[in-house]
Structure formats: C-alpha cells, structure tokens
Amino acid sequence: MWRSPKRTVLVGLTILLVGTAGAAAGTDRPNVIFILADDLGYGDLGSYGQRVIRTPSLDRMAAEGIRFTQFYAGATVCAPSRSVLMTGQHTGHTHVRGNARGTAQSLREEDVTVAEVLKSAGYATGLFSKWGLGEVGMEGHPLSQGFDAFYGYLNQVHAHNYYPEFLWRGLEKVSLRNKVERTPRPYGGFEGGWATERGEYSHDLIMREALAWVEEQMDAPFFLYLALTIPHANNEATRAVGDGAEVPEYGLYDEENWPNPDKGQAAMITRMDRDVGTLLRRLAELGIDDRTLVMFSSDNGPHNESNHDLLRFNPSGNLRGIKRDLYDGGIRVPFLAWWPGTIAPGQTSDHIGYFGDLMATVADLLDVDRPPGTDSISFAPTLRGRPGEQRTHDYLYWEFYEAGSAQAVRLRQWKGVRKPMLTGRLELYDVLRDEGERYDVARNYPDVVEEIERIMNEAHVAHPNWTPPSNR
C-alpha cells in the first residue's frame, strides 16, 4: 500500500492544478456538496420504496437527478466508511478500518483526503457536523486534513447526543444551552451522555452554520462536506430512558399511535429531508445551483439502536441485513446526484460504485491526477450522461472487525461473504437474481468461490491496528 509524505503529494497536485486552472473555469469547476446521513437505510427514502416516512425533498432531488441503485458505503459502521470516503481506499487498505479509540481511528499526516485535493485546486473547504477521524491534537483533526472550516462533533460518542453541552468550531469549544448526564463510557478521554436539560438541538445549529458558510463562499468554488448525524440514535439515551431518537418535535407523526422511538425516528428523517430541501432552494436563490454538484448518501445501513421498530419502516427494503452486516442491507446505500443543467433529470443508474470513488470523481471533474494508491474509479461519465465512457470496478471489497469479523466482495453479479475473515466458509449470492441474499449458491459455482477467495486474500493488507480475530 502506498505511503508518502502528504506535503510531497499536495505540492505535486498544486503544480498540476495551477497549470489547469484557466481551463477549469465555470461549470468545469463545480462546487461540490456531499451530504452524508448517519445510519439511513437503503429503503428509508420514498424514491427507494419507503411508504411510511415522508421524504419529499430528497424524492424531488432524485427526480431531478440520478438515483443510483447499486451504490455502496465504504463500510458497515461509521468511522471506516468515512475513512474510505475521504481517502479513496477500501477497508483492506485505508488506515481506519473500524470504530476504535485513539490513533487507530485517526487519519495520519500522510493520508491524502478529498478535501486536500480540492483545497489544492483553490476550493474553500468546509466540514459541518460529524467527523470521527481524529480529535484535537491528532494528525486526523479536520483542520489538518484539508478543511478550512469545521463546526460540529469530532468523535462518535459525542455525536450520539443531539443536545450536547458543546460543539467544536475549529479548535474552539462552543458552549450550548444543554445539560448532559454523563455515562461511564470513556472514548479517547471523552464520556458519552444524554441530555437532562434541552435548549439547543445540534442538527438545527449545524444546518444554520452550513447554510451561512455556503452563502459566504458563493463567488468562488467550494466543497461542503455535510456529514449529518440524523438518524443515528443517542445510544446513551436508549440505555437510560429507552428512547434514543431525539428530536425537538414529532411533527407529521405526532398523532400516530406509535411508541415514541418510532415517532422520533420518522421525524428525524423528515426533518433532515426538509433541511436538504432548504439547501437546494438556497443554491437556486443564490444563482449557483447550475454550477453545484450535490450528492446525498448514508454511511452504512440502518439501525435500531434508538429502540424503534425496524419492521414498521422496513429501512433495508428488499435487502438482507442492517448496520454491522456485510450483507447488502448493511452496506448498499441510497445515493443521489443532482446538478441542474449537467445531470439530466429522471435518471436511474445501475452503475456499481462505492464511497472510495468520490476521490477519482473529484479529480476527474477538476481534470487533475488523483493521489496514487487509491482504489477509486470516477463516476463522472455517468453524471455527465456519457455511459459509454464509464469504467467499472473489477470488484469491490470490504472487511469488518466486530462480531467475529467478516469480509465481502462484489464481483459482477456475485456477492461473496466470509465469516470469520480469512478462514471462514464463503457464502455466495447472485444479487441480480437474489437481491435479498437468501440463497447461498457456493456449491454450484466453485470457480467463482475460488476467484472471490483469492480477491479477499489479496485485498486484505495487514495492519498493526487491525488484526483478524483468528490471528490474535
């Protein structure tokens, strides 16, 4: 796996970009917005089959752009999925391969992020809401990873609370009008908690800051990474009071005869949908919507950590599994792309891509070289309506270190899952015919099994922080 001092790579990128800046003007240098929901399932949006929760803004975004049907997250839990998104390396190569503590869950100085590529191209870069890849004093802090502006949460446990006592603005703690009952769950020196006094809802504060930042950047190219915490549960509140779906009001669902966690889950998603709509309208009001590429997705599959009823909403749709599974319900995610005037409306794409492809796509849009050592293929041809130019992956790969560990590979129509990783028996599914991964056909296709096992063995590169259980 490639390792190189970051400054060397970024100096090279800057030299390349200086030479191409004149050619990459106007719509050739679009603003880039990536909106990431937290634990939103493949079936949680109306455009993906949701029949209970209302998501009109995102459904309109789908109708006005491209809805991808076979797009995958970087991992089945938060931190590694975000590491894949930022570095363009799959979980067999990227530094952060699971939810962990300390430097194991921090990007390093030598890791090159999408934000750094864009910053080297002269983009303003802003991160709002949840980071999860490095804290104050670590090499992975967002201000050390290519972001000019940051407002939100640095670590996962802090981000579980929608009514925290503070948020971070850059390196500064900003106090909020909330009081938190701390719980003994230390996380890199930080304890989790749940609010006993609720004055300010963090999601609303973060959206306000993000919208203001966009307005400030409207005259020059910018990259907004809006990594929302909705609909992730406050796990500590679930443990304490049985309801982790924190939201100021239930809105459309207030009169439903549902338990409160169910009302809160639906209300959070509809609230997020409302705010995505507000952002898209603001881009149009500023006159920059036709030079802004907006993408929307989720970091992994759905959860029931708030204590809500999964059966009520069917958040995985027809897919098998949820968060922490490497079946498609844990990793196949909604993915929408919207760019008025460039992306033709009303499209559905079955292109097979994943989070790591953002790196190559950004480099392609800017007409620059991507950093070496990535596992990334641009989907810009699909965005631009040039399917004949669209390259495809030889395969996609995932590995996971919880619950005894697992590996997965998507190879053409085939999906292989091995538990535990490296030593387990491979399950094989034809996901084009069997989307729900119900019928293991490994015995019928020994050559495919052998090919996928070879890929799994080669794609996994040993890392001192991430040791498969069988090797411990």
pLDDT tens profile 319-334? 999 999 999 999 999 9
Question: Is 15 domain-assigned?
Answer: no
CA-nearest of 189, 133, 185, 139 to 160 is 185
- Compute the CA torsion angle 309, 315, 320, 323 (nearest 10 deg): -80
Answer yes or no: are the C-beta atoms of 249 and 269 closer than 8 Å.
Answer: no
CA-nearest of 415, 244, 411 to 329 is 415
Within this chain, do residues 451 and 350 fall inside the same structural domain, yes or no?
no
What is the residue range of 104's domain? 31-393
Within this chain, do residues 150 and 222 fall inside the same structural domain, yes or no?
yes
Q: Show the tokens assigned to 183.
A: 């719980």
Q: Show the tokens assigned to 207.
A: 């959206």
Q: Show the tokens assigned to 365.
A: 């849009």
- Which element (helix H / strand E) includes 456? helix 446-459
Within this chain, do residues 293 and 375 fall inside the same structural domain, yes or no?
yes
Query: Which CATH number goes with the domain that contains 309?
Result: 3.40.720.10
Per the DSSP assignment, residues forming a β-bridge with 388 are none
What is the distance of C-alpha 354 from the center of its chain? 10
Please, where are the H alpha helices in 252-300? 260-285
Within this chain, do residues 364 and 414 fall inside the same structural domain, yes or no?
no
Question: Is 196 domain-assigned?
Answer: yes
| 261-289 pLDDT, tens digit each | 999 999 999 999 999 999 999 999 999 99
Q: Show the tokens assigned to 456.
A: 């799994």
Answer yes or no: are the C-beta atoms of 2 and 373 closer than 8 Å.
Answer: yes
Residues 123 and 82: their CA atoms lie apart, in Å, by 21
Question: Sign of dihedral through CA atoms 356, 360, 366, 372?
Answer: positive
Within this chain, do residues 103 and 250 fall inside the same structural domain, yes or no?
yes
Segments of the chain with pLDDT less than 50? 1-5, 7, 11, 14-27
* Residue 9 confidence (pLDDT): 52
- Which element (helix H / strand E) includes 78? helix 78-87
**Per-residue exposure over 245-278, b if at least 16 CB sit within 10 Å of its own CB, e if not:** bbbeebeebeeeebbbbbbbbbbbbbbbbbbbbe
Domain count, the chain: 2
* Residue 394 confidence (pLDDT): 98
- 78: amino acid identity, one letter: C
* Residue 183 confidence (pLDDT): 81
Answer yes or no: are the C-beta atoms of 159 and 132 closer than 8 Å.
Answer: yes
